[in-house]
Structure 1
């Protein structure tokens, strides 16, 4: 089974990270069919990467053929790829050697339409900030406390460490533009959540999995270790969840979040307070951060829902993947 790997890139500031990500794909025990580097409206980076990989038969460098943003970049990669399975890797992450092998093995079951993995943080400071709760590791694009271990069925995979069968996009269309990050706005997300819910509706028999043996390591820059980013990102998540709920309905759009907020987060607060009472560093900070994160996300959700009902500017569209257009629009 051929697996194409799509890495969306946008800034020269991550030059070495991008090279490391490509190297980790090249070192896989289950070789990738190809690696596609999709450059998001940055001609200088596009030219530099094209020169770097000009003689590489396994790496294709191309420009985002759609509007600025991660969703359109992923859609460009899907359209230009050749694999039966398309995997996505963040541009500031490296995959462990068996990452693709675990993905590919899961697709032996024809009902499996998507497989995600486990994402571990690499903190810029060398260790987790004492106040930063593991329950909120999704803030920095990593697997968070509360997800079930092992190989399990899930509502949605997490986009920076995920794969989809090509026919999933035939059934559901591509990533919706207008939900996720576009390089200029708040750190929005949830584009993979919306896609996975759409996929499950289009294919009720579809199985979506997370296999925590498919591991990547994701860099967390110093700026994202600060509480200001934590607060901004949780607020933006609320805005994004409002868009998802508008698209697929609150029942499905918030199904996993209800269990998370009713069970996982209260347990995290209790654990933080218990650590505080026992004199362990950061216990009160972690409990407070959980409360602050929930409050910020709820505020974003309320505002996002209001904007959606009043016909505000928060809009998005689902993209149908046209492979012929993607191939002709690719720039090497």
Structure 2
């Protein structure tokens, strides 16, 4: 097998996703380019840790680990990085399944030694069977999926999206691990942006670093009914604003909002225009999509403003975790 060995990290936290977790692991084991290993990192849930350990006790290439850090996705990912052996570490959400060519497309991106990260395309699996008529594709990031406005093909980007991403191990040597205190931590508020902050930090540590998205590396992400509702849309948009405020506190507003400026000034106005046009043509959901985009922008902006105020007050902190080398190796 040519190319780098790839370890896949799947972070899990609840038994409610038991079948989803099994499906995620199965999709990794069915790759046309086999993973070096699959690491299941369980976030402070002893019952789930025991159950998964028993389920995969005799399964070659699958290891079950407890999150060695504080509660949250960032620490879980850092635990997986530290325990992994691959030259590349890939991340897959616990409620997603990867298409069989997923890792092959990731591996191909690393033929260029300057490539430090490769992400893919994430498509929604709606629990109701189809996209809600009012839900704009421009806001698919709300449900952890690739949104309208990202360039197609294999292209250089500022940051990859964390649930469908991979990093060269040396990226963590250069920049450290995922910052705790930004992303999801088991709280009800669905925060995010930890991968954005890491990617910007990586580009600063390695100015020659290239970060790619290859839209042939596809996963399918389950969207439960609760997340198809406008209440979740609004909550997630507000949380994104809070998260972006933390990112800009870390890396500055120029880089922290670089992609968002184009998105807000080009992609979203075009989306509103499409929705209004569809409404005038009596097409289903047009007015709702236009209204949702406007509401999403205003809600995200409100979260960002609140986050900036909290940051000035000094009551928000996050920590960039160093990632130890795998067992048997010395840190770079």
What CA deviation, in whole Å up to 9, does each residue of 1:61-115 have, x standing for no partner? 0000000000000000000000000000000000000000000011010000000
Q: What are the superposed Cα offsets for residues 275-304 of structure 1, whole Å, 9 maximum, x if unpaired?
A: 000000110100000000000000000010
Q: Corresponding residue for 1:171?
A: 174
Equivalent residue runs for 1:50-199 within 5 Å: 50-199=53-202
For residues 184 and 328 of structure 2, what CA distance do their matches in structure 1 show? 21
Kindly report the root-mean-square deviation, in angstroms, between the aligned alpha carbons of the 2 structures: 1.1
Return the offset for 1:230.
0.1
Q: Aligned with 1:23: secondary structure?
A: helix
2:7 aligned residue: 4
Q: Deviations over 1:110-146 (max 9, x none)?
A: 0000000000000000000000000000000000000
SS of the equivalent of 2:146 reads coil
Asked if the contact 1:65–1:326 (Cα under 8 Å) also holds between the matched residues in 2, the reply is no
- How far the C-alpha of 1:324 sits from its partner, in A, is 5.7
Task: Give 1:244's match in structure 2, choosing from 239, 244, 247.
Answer: 247
Contiguous gaps of at least 5 residues in structure 2: none
For residues 154-193 of structure 1, give each alpha carbon's deviation from its aligned partner in whole angstroms, at most 9, with x where no partner exists. 0000000000000000000000000000112410000000
Aligned match for 1:207, one of 205, 210, 230: 210
Q: Quick one: distance in 2 between partners of 1:301 and 1:285? A: 24
Shift of residue 310, structure 1, vs aligned partner: 1.6
1:330 corresponds to which residue? none
Q: Number of paired residues? A: 326
Distance 1:324 1:216, change over 3 A: closer
In the superposition, the TM-score normalised over structure 2's length comes to: 0.97
1:323 Cα shift? 3.0
Equivalent position of 1:315 in the other structure:
317
Q: Cα deviation per residue 1:228-259 (whole Å; 9 max; x = unaligned)?
A: 00000000000000000000000000000000
Moved over 2 A (4+): 323-327
Do the aligned partners of 2:117 and 2:165 also contact (CA within 8 Å) in 1? yes
Q: In structure 2, how many angstroms separate the alpha carbons of the residues matched to 1:66 and 1:197?
A: 23
Secondary structure at the residue paired with 1:323?
A: coil
Between the aligned partners of 1:72 and 1:217, the Cα distance in structure 2 is 24
Q: Which residue of 1 aligns with 2:51?
A: 48
- CA 1:324–1:115 in 2, change beyond 3 Å: closer, same or farther? closer
- Distance change >3 Å, CA 320–CA 151, structure 1 → 2: same
Give the CA deviation at 1:57.
Answer: 2.0
| TM-score normalised by structure 1 residue count | 0.97
Q: Does 1:270 align with 2:267?
A: no
Task: Give the distance between the partners of 1:227 and 1:255, measured in 2 at CA.
Answer: 27
